[in-house]
Structure 1
Amino acid sequence: MLDMGRVIEDKTLRNREYVFTDRTDAGRQLAATLSGLERMEKPVVCPIPAGGVPLGIEVARALQAPMRMAVVRKVQIPWNPEAGFGAVTWDGQVFLNRTLLAGLDMTDREVDTAVEKARANVRERLEIFSAGREAPFLEDTTVILIDDGLATGYTMLAAVEAAAAESPRRVVVAVPTGSIRAVEFMAEKADLVVCLNIRTGYSFAVAQAYTQWHDLTDREVQELLTQARDMGLF
């Protein structure tokens, strides 16, 4: 394990692919690393749904910490919904990648439509995933933001900014895998980045870190959250 100031990685996993069985396995490995860190006072585990939820449950259980959904939705490019040019956070903030947007040749109306679609999805997910329960406050806590990987880091950036607005002690980004560019980018924004499997190649896909991979549905997330409630985590 190498601590590079604001980044912690597992050096034995550098540039390797298919190092985690699935998200639960990745969550357990991430939890083991986080459990050994100092200065984790009053942790609140904040997974980004959908993919971050299985990992968040494992980390919350290991740290005996409460869990709160960090609902963030990318603002999709209309003709390529897998890609985004920004993100909307749980508190309604909108973050746009102006550099990327400048090259997309989108009209103001197209941008506004895409942003509103993301806002609507955030509102819907907040209602579905909270089930009327009051979320833990983040003030004076150690916020641990979790996702299943960092590709560009832009969605996580939005989560970091939204969490920081609630005055926590520290904001920690914790992911199993990430591109070196995204990790370096996040290290400038968060107090600490934990990324076990850093990859430096030209191309990067989160799924390449997992031998078993599928996109989680909202229904699967709800089932996982029911399990988390039964464990007293959520």
Structure 2
Amino acid sequence: MSFLDRSDAGRRLAEALQAYVGRPLAVFALPRGGLPVALEVAKALGAPLELALVRKIGLPFFPELAMGAVIDGKHPAIVRNEEVIAGHGISEQDFQTCCQRELQEIQRRRRLYLGGRPDRDIKGKIAIIIDDGLATGATMRAAIKGLRLRHPDKIVVAVPVSSVDILPVLRREADDVICLETPVDFQAVGLHYRHFPQLSDEDVLDTLKEADRISAREAGDG
């Protein structure tokens, strides 16, 4: 086990991102699991914490296996895993049905987590996208694709642990990739944490409130 919990992973990840301190940043978390990691990074870098509302598109009969991912936006960005789609005989209709279901969940989360808060303008800024770990990388790739449409100066992927197989793909699609651990026996993200509970909507809301309190306090100090 590499990390005590997600907060421990976030603090260690922040140390690896010190080169970005003082630069115009926005830290994006992939909820739910990426949020406690990203909170620690945002605190350490003095950056605002945002959400990248992205969902894995799982197989109809095996939702844990990603055949793609989608991130919300005016024009939702979709990443497809054609090998999985073809290998399991998934029709285009089935793919689109699953995709629409995930977009509905994204919209539910947007209403609950963000209310009417508009997307932050990140044009010309560095967007750091954080998750608690990567297995297939499908959701991270969708996040990269979606955030590119908002014209950041640079996209940085930062994760505590990842399957080594996905990193070359991410290095082609992002401008920088920071990963603390790439175990040769990688099987699942949770196996690299001592404490890895499932997070609820309430956990997300509590973390966002904490981030808002920190931002307000820093604004008052300034």
Tell me the TM-score normalized by structure 2.
0.91
After superposing the two structures, state which structure 1 stretch, 93-102 or 70-79, moved more: 93-102
Q: Distance in 2 between matches of 1:65 and 1:142?
A: 10
Find the counterpart in structure 2 of residue 193 from structure 1.
177
Q: How many residues align?
A: 214
| Residues 46 and 146 in structure 1, CA contact (< 8 A), matched pair in contact too | yes
Find the counterpart in structure 2 of residue 221 from structure 1.
204
Query: Which has the bigger relative contact order, CA under 8 A and spacing at least 6?
Result: 1
Q: 1:63 aligns with which of 37, 42, 45?
A: 45
After superposing the two structures, state which structure 1 stretch, 180-189 or 136-145, moved more: 180-189
Task: Please list every run of 5 or more consecutive structure 2 residues that lacks an aligned counterpart in the other structure.
Answer: 217-222
| Residues 88 and 122 in structure 1, CA contact (< 8 A), matched pair in contact too | no
Q: Does 1:181 align with 2:165?
A: yes
Find the counterpart in structure 2 of residue 24 from structure 1.
7
Q: Distance in 2 between matches of 1:158 and 1:39?
A: 26
Find the counterpart in structure 1 of residue 58 from structure 2.
76
Equivalent residue letter for 1:73: R
| Residues 144 and 171 in structure 1, CA contact (< 8 A), matched pair in contact too | yes
Q: Distance in 2 between matches of 1:76 and 1:217?
A: 20
Q: Distance in 2 between matches of 1:39 and 1:171?
A: 15
| Residues 40 and 142 in structure 1, CA contact (< 8 A), matched pair in contact too | no
Q: 2:80 aligns with which of 93, 96, 99?
A: 96
After superposing the two structures, state which structure 1 stretch, 175-184 or 106-115, moved more: 106-115
Q: Considering only aligned residues, what root-mean-square deviation do their CA atoms show, in Å?
A: 1.5
Task: Please list every run of 5 or more consecutive structure 1 residues that lacks an aligned counterpart in the other structure.
Answer: 1-17
Q: Distance in 1 between matches of 2:196 and 2:143?
A: 24
Q: Distance in 2 between matches of 1:116 and 1:40?
A: 39
Find the counterpart in structure 2 of residue 205 from structure 1.
188
| Residues 162 and 183 in structure 2, CA contact (< 8 A), matched pair in contact too | yes
Secondary structure at 1:117 match in 2:
helix
Equivalent residue letter for 1:148: D
After superposing the two structures, state which structure 1 stretch, 174-183 or 88-97, moved more: 88-97
Cα deviations by residue, 1:180-234 (Å, 9 ceiling, x for unpaired): 1112221111111000011223x5211121011122122211111111111127x
Secondary structure at 2:51 match in 1:
coil
Q: Distance in 2 between matches of 1:180 and 1:116?
A: 30
Secondary structure at 2:65 match in 1:
strand
Find the counterpart in structure 2 of residue 112 from structure 1.
96
Q: 2:68 aligns with which of 68, 76, 86?
A: 86
Q: Distance in 2 between matches of 1:57 and 1:65?
A: 9
| Residues 172 and 194 in structure 1, CA contact (< 8 A), matched pair in contact too | yes
Secondary structure at 2:110 match in 1:
helix
Q: Distance in 1 between matches of 2:122 and 2:81?
A: 26
Measured at CA, do residues 232 and 131 of structure 1 come closer, stay the same or move farther in structure 2, by a change above 3 Å? farther
Counterpart mapping for 1:154-169 below 5 A: 154-169=138-153
Percent identity of equivalent pairs: 34
Secondary structure at 2:106 match in 1:
helix
Find the counterpart in structure 1 of residue 25 from structure 2.
43
Query: Which has more helix, going by share of residues?
Result: 2
Q: Distance in 2 between matches of 1:27 and 1:109?
A: 39
Measured at CA, do residues 88 and 38 of structure 1 come closer, stay the same or move farther in structure 2, by a change above 3 Å? closer
